[in-house]
């Protein structure tokens, strides 16, 4: 009996040590991988004409100037094409001035002057952020909504609500690696008032696609394309004129990051500065060489700590 008792104690001690090691291994296996948010999917809140899923950090204020010149080439301009510096000095241009602020990480609000007596207010809400970890999410998703009001004198408008138009976009992006990010942009433009005529509608639908390719730490190549799905062919206006809008909207640009500022120089087949007109009333045909220069300047600063 005296020999058995020490043997039992030794066996229990060995079993206890083995159990402790097993429990330690199990605990290590249960350690959850940390969630890692994917940052800098795009360099700024706009791709070229369209929005991205990006927005400023909480407390960040952004000022943006987006300028669209006239057509690079106009077959009706003749020798004036060179005199107008290929659209840069034509006297026809649209400038978009916007101010936006991010009170929280998931929301951005702003106002803009869209040219031709048109003003806009907008908001962007981040719904999902791309991330890795135990709960991996492969994409970022945001909702962008914009209201546009035309304040120009118009005797045909008797109801104030007829001056308002809207844009709603679902932004779905993915950063594939440090260089390439892509985004899908389904959009709908709503007109409170549609001019009387044939083939007009209150809603104009489009599907867009765009992306960014990082060339270096300060240079990105941006591109975007949108296809208008309705209300672009054989539109009869209230004056009896027939209009054929161009359903294809294409832009390519180079983005430069200087630290405090972001500069973008681009060429595309629109001179409009607002998404309302770009996605519903664009008349520039790519096949005819109807392209125009443009540039965007971003400046951001923090209003909080």
Please give the domain boundaries of the chain with CATH numbers for all domains: 35-302 (2.40.160.40)
Question: How high is the pLDDT of residue 185?
Answer: 98
Question: How high is the pLDDT of residue 230?
Answer: 92
Question: How high is the pLDDT of residue 94?
Answer: 84
Question: How high is the pLDDT of residue 131?
Answer: 94
> How far is residue 252's CA from residue 134's CA, in Å, rounded to a whole number?
37
Q: pTM of the prediction?
A: 0.83
Question: How high is the pLDDT of residue 84?
Answer: 54
Question: How high is the pLDDT of residue 14?
Answer: 43
Closest CA relative to residue 70, chosen from 39, 99, 93:
93
CB 220 within 8 A of CB 298: no
> How far is residue 95's CA from residue 97's CA, in Å, rounded to a whole number?
6
Question: How high is the pLDDT of residue 215?
Answer: 96
CB 272 within 8 A of CB 70: no
CB 99 within 8 A of CB 113: no
Q: What is the CA 167 to chain-centroid distance, rounded? A: 13
Question: How high is the pLDDT of residue 261?
Answer: 83
Q: What is the mean pLDDT of each run of 10 residues along the chain (305 residues)?
A: 48 45 49 84 94 94 91 62 54 85 95 92 96 91 97 83 95 96 98 80 95 95 96 83 92 89 92 94 86 91 76
> How far is residue 120's CA from residue 80's CA, in Å, rounded to a whole number?
34
């Amino acid at each position: 009996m005296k020999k058995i008792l020490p043997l039992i104690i030794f066996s229990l001690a060995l079993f206890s040590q083995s159990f402790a090691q097993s429990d330690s291994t199990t605990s290590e296996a249960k350690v959850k991988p940390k969630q890692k948010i994917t940052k800098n999917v795009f360099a700024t809140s706009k791709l070229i004409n369209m929005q991205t899923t990006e927005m400023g950090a909480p407390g960040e204020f952004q000022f943006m100037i987006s300028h669209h010149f006239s057509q690079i080439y106009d077959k009706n301009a003749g020798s004036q094409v060179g005199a107008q510096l290929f659209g840069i000095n034509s006297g026809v241009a649209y400038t978009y001035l916007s101010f936006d602020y991010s009170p929280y990480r998931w929301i951005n609000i702003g106002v803009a002057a869209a040219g031709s007596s048109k003003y806009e207010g907008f908001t962007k809400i981040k719904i999902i952020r791309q991330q890795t970890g135990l709960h991996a999410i492969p994409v970022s998703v945001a909702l962008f909504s914009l209201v546009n009001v035309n304040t120009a004198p118009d005797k045909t408008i008797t109801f104030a609500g007829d001056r308002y138009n809207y844009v709603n976009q679902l932004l779905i992006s993915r950063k594939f690696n440090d260089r390439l990010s892509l985004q899908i942009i389904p959009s709908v433009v709503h007109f409170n008032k549609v001019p009387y005529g044939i083939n007009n509608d209150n809603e104009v639908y489009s599907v867009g696609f765009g992306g960014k390719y990082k060339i270096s730490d300060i240079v990105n190549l941006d591109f975007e394309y949108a296809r208008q799905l309705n209300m672009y062919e054989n539109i009869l206006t209230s004056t009896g004129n027939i209009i054929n809008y161009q359903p294809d909207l294409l832009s390519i640009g180079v983005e430069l990051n200087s630290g405090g500022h972001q500069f973008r120089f681009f060429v595309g087949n629109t001179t409009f500065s607002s998404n309302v007109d770009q996605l519903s009333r664009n008349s520039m045909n790519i096949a005819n060489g109807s392209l125009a220069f443009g540039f965007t300047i971003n400046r951001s600063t923090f209003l909080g700590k």
